[in-house]
Structure 1
């Protein structure tokens, strides 16, 4: 009887780490002076203010959700032109993945061919939030006048989830 209680235990786990994706900063105003926002072009690259540190406010340094990056470093592009910001900015990144899943289980045999397996599974074991992308587009002449620009307003994962399972083996 003691061997049935002590034996048959096991653990499983999955750990995921991933660096955040680079951000694409865009501007969606009218730089044609025709009253047409970019003549059908969805979003174009803004200008970067020379000497401005784009990552000052967040992007892993301070991690403030309402100031993920320094929004004052971006301005409207020149009339009839593209801005100086790169298409994808590798110096500004979204939040990465840090996830731990864990399970503990107990198998108990009844005879030669039958048994039970009881499992307890933990998804997002440490209840660590994974934040969504910050707002990366702005309209108008100044980037600091847009409410969502540079702010994280969503969460990508679920809170901790605990699941129990009982399996009849035959």
Structure 2
């Protein structure tokens, strides 16, 4: 900062002492592990992999906002039935991660600070901070359970909520203003 007695004191007061900071996080979505419920494999797990239907693409493309009601295609999966008496334990044909990505994450936290030199030993600071500055929604992982096998009816029961994104992560834009005087 220039000394207060300088000819450029008013110019320095106007344009000097500014400080801009940002924290930016941008991440791709993680792979989706599509499952079906019920322990029909006798290995102690409450989920197992369903089977992929040949020729159907389980992944959908487009903006996450446009796919909230069906983030992936649950009709590309069939429920793996339980073993028959004396038969081997069935395993679904879907891989652990089917190649579909979950919603990504983009967050921008910004701050702008201005320091003022008022007198020889008196300084002031103004702060403006914005968390999630652009108010970007962060969508949670969709419902990954496509259905289960009903032993009472001996048939597949499909989950009507499969592929739906029903929540968000984080928080909306938060703006905070502050000031400090040091003497």
Decide which structure has the larger Cα Rg and report it.
2
Structure 2 unaligned blocks of 5 or more: 1-8, 84-88, 150-154
1:41 to 2:45 alignment: yes
Change (3 A) 1:121 1:76: same
1:22 to 2:35 alignment: no
CA distance in 2, matches of 1:52, 1:61: 20
Q: Which residue in 2 is equivalent to 1:155?
A: 168
Could you state the TM-score of these two structures normalised by the residue count of structure 1?
0.83
Change (3 A) 1:69 1:19: same
**When the two structures are aligned, how many residues end up with a matched partner?**
162
RMSD: 2.3
Could you state the TM-score of these two structures normalised by the residue count of structure 2?
0.77
Question: What is the CA distance between 1:10 and its match in structure 2?
Answer: 1.8
Q: Which residue in 2 is equivalent to 1:84?
A: 93
The answer to whether the 8 Å contact 2:39/2:45 transfers is no
The structure 1 residue matched to 2:57, chosen from 45, 53, 65, is 53
CA distance in 1, matches of 2:182, 2:33: 51
Structure 1 unaligned blocks of 5 or more: 33-37
The answer to whether the 8 Å contact 1:13/1:103 transfers is yes
Q: Deviations over 1:2-42 (max 9, x none)?
A: 1323321121112221000111111113546xxxxx56321
Question: What is the CA distance between 1:164 and its match in structure 2?
Answer: 0.8
CA distance in 1, matches of 2:64, 2:15: 47
Q: Which residue in 1 is equivalent to 2:68?
A: 65
1:166 to 2:179 alignment: yes
Q: Which residue in 2 is equivalent to 1:35?
A: none
Q: Which residue in 2 is equivalent to 1:129?
A: 137
Change (3 A) 1:61 1:104: closer
1:75 to 2:88 alignment: no
